[in-house]
Amino acid sequence: MAKAMNRKPRRIVERNIALLDRLMRYLLAEPQIFSALPDNFELVILPEDDPEIRLYNLELLDRLGSEGKPIVFARIPAARTRGWKRARPHLYVPVAT
């Protein structure tokens, strides 16, 4: 698994940074969302329309874990045709059962 993840890290990292930028712009424009998020959480971005990054990020979570921190999954469109205001990411905090 680690070899597959190391093949294209630069391009995937660049795309992840672009998604993180859009997500942070949205969160800064809607600061009330922060009150619903747990403290000191691990963020996992799951682009709705980019299975390569989605799989990479899930494999990274599986490999590195969350070190006991709560995990927040952010589903966001990866397509650049939408601006950050219209991206409207969906944030999920799994509840332990």
pLDDT tens string 76-92: 988 765 555 566 788 88
Cα 90–chain centre separation? 10
Angle between helix axes 51-64 and 9-29 (nearest 10 degrees) is 90
Domain interval for residue 57: 2-92
The CATH number assigned to the domain holding 54 equals 3.40.1350
Instruction: Tell whether 43 is covered by a domain.
Output: yes
93 pLDDT tier (thresholds 50, 70, 90): confident
Number of domains in the chain: 1
Instruction: Tell whether 97 is covered by a domain.
Output: no
- Do 92 and 73 meet the contact criterion of CB atoms below 8 Å apart? yes
pLDDT tens string 5-41: 555 678 899 999 999 998 999 899 999 998 999 999 9
The set of residues, in sequence order, having a beta carbon less than 8 Å from that of 1 and lying 6+ positions away, is 59, 63
How many residues does the structure list for the chain? 97
Instruction: Tell whether 44 is covered by a domain.
Output: yes
